[in-house]
Amino acid sequence: MAVKRTSKVTKPKAAKSASKTIRSKTATKASKSAAGSALSQAKSPKKVTSKGAASAASKTLKNPKASRAAKSAAGSALSQRVVKSSAKSGTVSKTKARSAVKSVTKSRRK
């Protein structure tokens, strides 16, 4: 199975959230891992989120105690995860990434 390429980069607002998360003394290891992945992709469209960083991003999004900044960075990292080009897994991953980003967006509006 071929790996799909992505041209996505982390937007400045998400990069700022990632930076804030990395500097936080209370952020979890998973949050910082996801934030590091998002930050490393800020100006590099060829870089993609690794399986481990995607897992950490997922944990961060599920954590009710995670900050808004951490969830924003995690959503950005997860949306840049590349999956193998199986139609089923590609669709599922895109759907999960979209819902993760939507949940972060909703929490910002509150």
Evaluate if pTM is beyond 0.85.
no
The per-residue pLDDT for range 39-79, each reduced to its tens digit, is 999 888 888 888 999 999 999 999 999 999 999 999 999 88
| Residue 2 covered by a domain | no
| Residue 6 covered by a domain | no
Quote the number of domains for the chain.
1
| Residue 4 covered by a domain | no
Report long-range pairs for 36-43 (Cβ below 8 Å, ≥24 apart).
Answer: 37/77, 37/80, 38/10, 38/14, 38/73, 38/74, 38/76, 38/77, 38/80, 39/10, 39/15, 39/73, 41/8, 41/9, 41/10, 41/76, 41/77, 41/80, 42/9, 42/10, 42/12, 42/15, 42/18, 43/9
Domain residues for the domain of 29 are 12-109
| Residue 81 covered by a domain | yes
